[in-house]
Amino acid sequence: MKYNPFLNFCSVLDKAAAACGIAPEDYEVLKHPERELKVALPIIRDDGRLEVFEGYRVQHSSLRGPCKGGIRFHQDVNIDEVKALAAWMTFKCAIVNIPYGGGKGGVQVDPHALSASELEKLTRRYTAAILPLIGPQQDIPAPDVGTNAQSMDWLMDTYSMMHGYAVPGVATGKDIEVGGSLGRTEATGRGIMIITRLVCEAKGMKKARVAVQGAGNVGSISAKLIYERLGFDIVAISDVSGGVYKADGLDMSSVWEHLTAKKLLKDYSAPGVRHISNKELLLCDCDILIPAALENQITAEIASELKAGIVIEAANGPTSVDADSVLAGRGIDVYPDILANAGGVVVSYFEWAQNLQSLYWEEEDVNRMLDKVMVRAFRDVKAAADEYRVTLRLAAYITALKRLTRAAKLRGIFPR
């Protein structure tokens, strides 16, 4: 059976509701995204050819505020993936208790196969196509896999041109010069570092050996901050080309320099470093595994052989439902994506608030507030896990679900 991430979400939702005694009619609406838009995106390629790409924008829930979520440019984007990502955003925002709902967008394209000019055309055309759905009070996009600050700059400019004045609050993750927030680029990775710190403090671990699958913005910054701020050994890290492993810890300063030069890890070499596959990284000898790549990386097969005692999910949906059961049975703690990688949306919220107020914060203030929010969310999820005697994933879902169903009851159903 083909993996369907949205059905994965619904399955976990049902388990969480049953665990805390929430009736099906109280959360049925959360199994149905509010809006799903599919768009055709024609652009003229640099060689003069017309090519049409397929794009999506899904608004899962606006119960607690405007929809919020990234835009993904990837060749495997499909509607079920976008629906799942939008739903996870709803729950992520509820867990960290910020006034957003969940949304997500995507275009089925390999961004590496397009020139900068073609990417700009595609981004602007996509923005124009989803224009009726987005806005500072409706739905606020952000970068995701295959997009970046430049993408959001183009999106903000396109939206602003359509309205006749600058609207920086329509997107987050922008460059500083056009309304971005200090600290936003490293926010998701910093959040992972904070959760890693809190996990180790709770378990009395003074030192840990960490493996990170994925060397994009989230994976590389997570690894760098865990190495620099916590002093932990990064024993393995990988990208699309494969990974590198060193049992007594990689020199992350050297690895970081290699990655920032836009070089692949298959071309990295240093004394004592061994090249491994992404599967080998998942199964390597470490204390903490941080999957920071794409969905469905930890399958039941992988879970049965995992050596790490702790999994901290930096990617969205990296663990399948059946793998979750295997990990729980083996006593491996999984700190779920909707808690662990929420740092990005927290600082996106800060950026949006700064845009609306035209009042900008210092980076140390952003980082201090991020730490405060992540600590509170971690404690809320741990408290739910203890109260209901469930896994941390179910505890995170319960924390969010209780807030969402409470909001739904207070708002009621329109019309009656």
Q: Which residues contact 65 (CB under 8 A, 6 or more apart)?
A: 93, 98, 99, 100, 101
Edge-to-edge strands, sheet with 333-335: 274-276, 242-245, 233-239, 209-213, 288-291, 310-312, 333-335
List the structure tokens of 254.
Answer: 């050297």
Helix/strand/coil percent split, the chain, to 5: 50, 20, 30
List the structure tokens of 34.
Answer: 């509010």
Of 92, 104, 246, 382, the catalytic one is 104
10 Å CB burial of residue 396 (0-12, 13-18, 19+) is buried
Q: Measured in whole angstroms, how far is the alpha carbon of residue 263 from the centre of its chain?
A: 24
Is 104 among the catalytic positions?
yes
CB contact at 8 A, 146 and 331? no
Q: What are phi and psi of 159, to 5 degrees?
A: -60, -45
Q: Measured in whole angstroms, how far is the alpha carbon of residue 221 from the centre of its chain?
A: 14
**Cβ neighbours, 10 Å, residue 201:** 11
List the structure tokens of 330.
Answer: 């083996």
Enumerate the active-site residues. 104
